[in-house]
Copies of this chain bind each other. A is one copy, B any other.
Amino acid sequence: MYTLDRSLIAGLPPFSGLSRPDLDVILEKARPLRVAAGQAVFEQDTEAPSFFLLLDGHVRVVKTTADGQQVIMRYISAGQLIGIATALGRTTYPATAIAAVDSLALAWPNEAWHELATLYPAFAANTFKTVSARMEEAHERVVELATALVDRRVAHALLRLIEQTGRRTEYGIEIGFPISRQDIADMTGTTLHTVSRLLTAWEHQGFVRSTRKRVTVVDGARLLDHVGRV
């Protein structure tokens, strides 16, 4: 058993601008959901009955193509909404969400979204901002995939990850959850072999350090400069 810390939730972006009583009404409708590492929060192309707020942990959102290839669309950290299919007018999830570590989420039934969106304009506005931001991120990724070489794409992916989830360590900034070479490859449209080769090369040059499922960026600026050359 546990109790929700409402004051923590009140500060999260999806609910910014909402009054405390309003928030209580909203939280009333949610149920907590624990997800073990490696387990799915929801699966691509299945009926979408709920949307979620990640309270703790890290979740990767993965699209699988018809021929089985996987692409990691994004990593979700605590405080972010996920699986908001209903807000986009969909009835199925467009991707699978897998917990990268043991995670805790709140789940709302879809009906709640529509109630909340009409009752609390700030909530609808926040969702719109989120969707806008994700559209722009996706556009930037399209540009990068269409124009940049693999080393640049992988470097950018690492820098984005440490920006979103990085923790200071003795040697630099470490990505805040376990991530394999395969995962990084699935984020950047390459193979685990190529990622492995890049990481070892960069480790020799002192830009990064890595062990099994852990990556630390020692000097992000020099890494970016390194891959920047034509």
* A136 / chain B contacts, CB cutoff of 8 Å: 88, 94
Q: How large is the interface on A (under 10, 10 to 19, 20 to 34, 35 or more residues)?
A: 20 to 34
Number of copies: 2
Contact residue among B67, B143, B188 (Cβ-Cβ distance under 8 Å from A230): B67
* A71 / chain B contacts, CB cutoff of 8 Å: 142-143, 146-147
* A138 / chain B contacts, CB cutoff of 8 Å: 135, 138-139, 141-142
Q: Is the CB of A132 within 8 A of B89?
A: yes
* A145 / chain B contacts, CB cutoff of 8 Å: 142, 145-146, 189
A27 to chain B, nearest CB (A): 24
Within 8 A of B (CB), among A126-167: 128-129, 131-132, 134-136, 138-139, 141-143, 145-147
Given A131-B132, A142-B142, 11 new contacts (CB under 8 A): A67-B230, A69-B146, A71-B142, A71-B146, A88-B132, A94-B136, A94-B139, A128-B128, A138-B142, A145-B145, A146-B189
